[in-house]
Each structure stands twice: as C-alpha cells, then as structure tokens.
Amino acid sequence: MVLRVYLAGPEVFLPDPMAHATAQKRICAALGLVGVSPLDTFADEPAAWMDLPESRRIARRNEAHIRSSQAILANISPFRGPSADSGTVYEIGFGRALGLPVFAYTAALDDYAARVRALAGGNEICDADGLSIEDFNLAENLMIACAICESGGTVTRLGGASWGSLEAFERCAASAAAALLA
C-alpha cells in the first residue's frame, strides 16, 4: 500500500525550498511513506488552469495534493507571531475535514497561551486589544491542537530547531509511520 503524506509548512519559503522538499521526501521514503510537497506540479495539469493567476494554480494544486494523501505532516512552529503559518493551518483544517490524521512538529516548547502572554507583556488574562487569552495547555489554538489529537496524530516538540532543520520533521515522520503502518 502506498501511503502518501502531504508536507505542510512554511519550509516552502526557505531560500532553497526544492532542496528541502527533496530531503523531506528522502526521509519519508526511508520510513515507507511517500512525501507529497506543495511544490510538486502535475504533468497533466488541466488546460483551464493555465489562464489562472499563479496563486490560484498553487492553491488548486495543494488542495489536490491533500485530497490524494492519506495524512498530513505539518510544521506548526510559531511563524511571524505566536501562531503557526496561516497557510499551514488552513491545510490542517482542510485535511481534517477529509478525515486525514495530522502529525505536527514545532520548535516551540512552550504552549500557545505562554507565547501570547509574552506578546501581551505578561498580561495573564487578555492581550493588548482586550481579547481574552485562550489557555488550555495546548501547543496551538484549540481547534488545531484538538484536531491533531482527535485525528490520532501527534505533536513533536523539539526546541531550538531552525526552519531549515530536518530533525523535528524526521521525528514527526517516524511517529506518523509508526501509526500509519502499524
């Protein structure tokens, strides 16, 4: 059985994203998984897509990639703020609605609430706009953290990893392989 796993995360914004995707795919292959990258294109892309703006072609490709996958591996490290990359979070929600298990990895050892409180200057209750700070001892907003849990996935936390590091990804992929190939 071929187990396709979609590689969600802001690694697509790295200086050499193709090289990184290739390395991620190699790690997947060694574990018996087929890594599907957001950078992958289709040899037979529909002709109608050619006239679309590049952004919509990318979006259609990525949604098709998720629909053709059996699980999602997602980098939920805080990205330009206390939360994960919004594109990645979108893809987690998309996959979850399709029933896919979500396996996440993050460089943050602290919880979402702690990160928001740090941003709010230590205020425990609410942020600078007066909006309350959700605190459920979870790695992310509860919708994302619970989706991972409810789907049978895991969160791999590995502090200090840089965006180009593959160590947390490798542990996450191993966790996915153990669950999916059991």
In the complex, the residues that contact its own copies under the rule CB under 8 A are: 10, 13-15, 53-56, 58-60, 62-63, 66, 80-87, 89-98, 116, 119, 126-127, 129-134, 136, 138, 140-147, 149-150, 163
Smallest separation (angstroms) from its own copies to the CB of 152? 13
Q: Please give the DSSP secondary-structure letter assigned to residue 35.
A: E
Closest CB to its own copies among residues 31, 158: 158
Nearest alpha carbon to residue 84 among 171, 181, 2, 9 = 9
Smallest separation (angstroms) from its own copies to the CB of 87? 4
Smallest separation (angstroms) from its own copies to the CB of 7? 14
Number of Cβ within a 10 Å radius of residue 143: 12
The kind and range of the H/E element at 95 are helix 86-97
CA distance 35 to 53: 26
Residue corresponding to tokens 């998984």? 33
Closest CB to its own copies among residues 111, 167: 111
Closest CB to its own copies among residues 33, 66: 66
